[in-house]
Amino acid sequence: MKITDYTLHRLHLPLREPIGDSQVRFVDHWMTIVELHTDEGHSGVGFQIQQGMPIANPADLRTQFEYAVWPNLLGGSPLGLAQRITRPRGGNVGTGPRTPAVETALWDLVGKQQQQPLYHVLGGDNPRVPAYGSTLDFRLDDAEFRLKLKRFRELGFTASVKTKVGAPDLAWDLRRLAIVKEEMGDDVRVMVDANEAWSVKETLIRLNAYRDAGHEIFWIEDPITREDYEGYARLCAELSFTRVNTGEYLDYSGKRRLLEHNAVDVLNVHDSVSATRAAAWLAADYGVPVSLGNTVLELGVHLAASLPECLCLEFSDLVWNDIAVEPIRFEAGFAIAPDRHGHGIALDRDKVAFYSCP
Ligand SMILES: [Mg+2]
């Protein structure tokens, strides 16, 4: 099977409500879709999201793709390209020709060629992965937050939920945690994400205050700046009553440094197939579990299903699932990897046309 042609789409997806955290607020997503076509009539599809500003217009997108990406794909075998290990050095360091969207499309083709769902191709044998509802709620008022929790409850996320913290005022955090309990019940597992809002000292003060107020926190995510490895090591040592989840904002080298410094209890991975699996291998070597952060259209379910030490998968119920004929299914707090060939997400052509931004 050889790659012979491609199609690009640029989509603009207005969100149902603002999403954000202690640092950012977004009202829309920009999406690049790459379709790779083969001489055997298969097409693989990949997706990439940009937040905060538009992606290049379609003509420029095509020019960039033709220049930097396409020469490396034309005539290539999807399996070989998907598995190729490169060693970027010097001026080559960067995303390179195998962008996350291209890599997703390649793995989709591999699954279609082998007539296997992607999680099988990656070695997984159980399509059900524990998932948690992630509310991205920082920019919502209390009433809107309650509605969002209700929606997650109705979607079956009654066991596990993650909310945002990190307001200047500790009372705000405590009020939101109380709302979680009121809406989800006392038994729900709660994770919180501060998105680098704090210092080490402030993190210790906050987490102790949550505990004193009766809130058990399963993990605290990204409390301090991403590269403060000593700070994270101190938090892991001192926060004996919860877990420190970090790594979301770091590349492979940064994740390695976290592990080397004993500076992470749960390593957050949510990159491309190859980068996620490499980081998860490394975490396994240190005996550290991983969690799968948000991935476009929840395609990370295939990765999570193939990683033996993945605790759970994040689900934020975002509008990007609108463009799928059949989005990834969630059932009673589990994500179910589809048994269709490849990653199993086919494009709803009417919706793609609706959101397309020429
Ligand atoms: Mg996060």
Q: List, for residues 232-244, the tens digit of each pLDDT value.
A: 999 999 999 999 9
Residues written for the chain: 358
Neighbours of ion ligand 1 (CB under 5 A): 193, 221, 248
CATH number at 164 reads 3.20.20.120
In a domain, 40, yes or no: yes
Domain identity same for 184 and 261: yes
CA of 200 to the centre of ligand 1 (A): 17
Domain identity same for 255 and 311: yes
Domain identity same for 90 and 192: no
Residue 98: per-residue pLDDT:
84
Domain identity same for 205 and 298: yes
Range of the domain at 294: 121-336
**CA 335, CA 325: separation in Å to the nearest integer?**
17
CA of 42 to the centre of ligand 1 (A): 35
In a domain, 344, yes or no: no
Q: How confident is the model at residue 95 (pLDDT cuts 50, 70, 90)?
A: low
In a domain, 341, yes or no: no
CA of 239 to the centre of ligand 1 (A): 19
Q: Is the pLDDT of residue 96 over 80?
A: no
CA of 248 to the centre of ligand 1 (A): 6
Residue 117: per-residue pLDDT:
98
CA of 85 to the centre of ligand 1 (A): 28
CA of 185 to the centre of ligand 1 (A): 23
Range from 97-101, 136-140, 227-231, 272-276 carrying the lowest mean pLDDT: 97-101
Within 13 A of 107's CA, how many CA atoms are on the CB side?
26
Domain identity same for 140 and 210: yes
Domain identity same for 92 and 189: no
CA of 124 to the centre of ligand 1 (A): 25
Calculate what percentage of the chain has a pLDDT beyond 90: 94
In a domain, 294, yes or no: yes
Helical segments of the chain, H only: 58-68, 70-73, 78-83, 100-114, 118-121, 142-154, 170-184, 200-212, 229-238, 252-260, 273-285, 300-304, 349-355
Domain identity same for 74 and 210: no
CA of 3 to the centre of ligand 1 (A): 36
Please state the domain count of the chain: 2
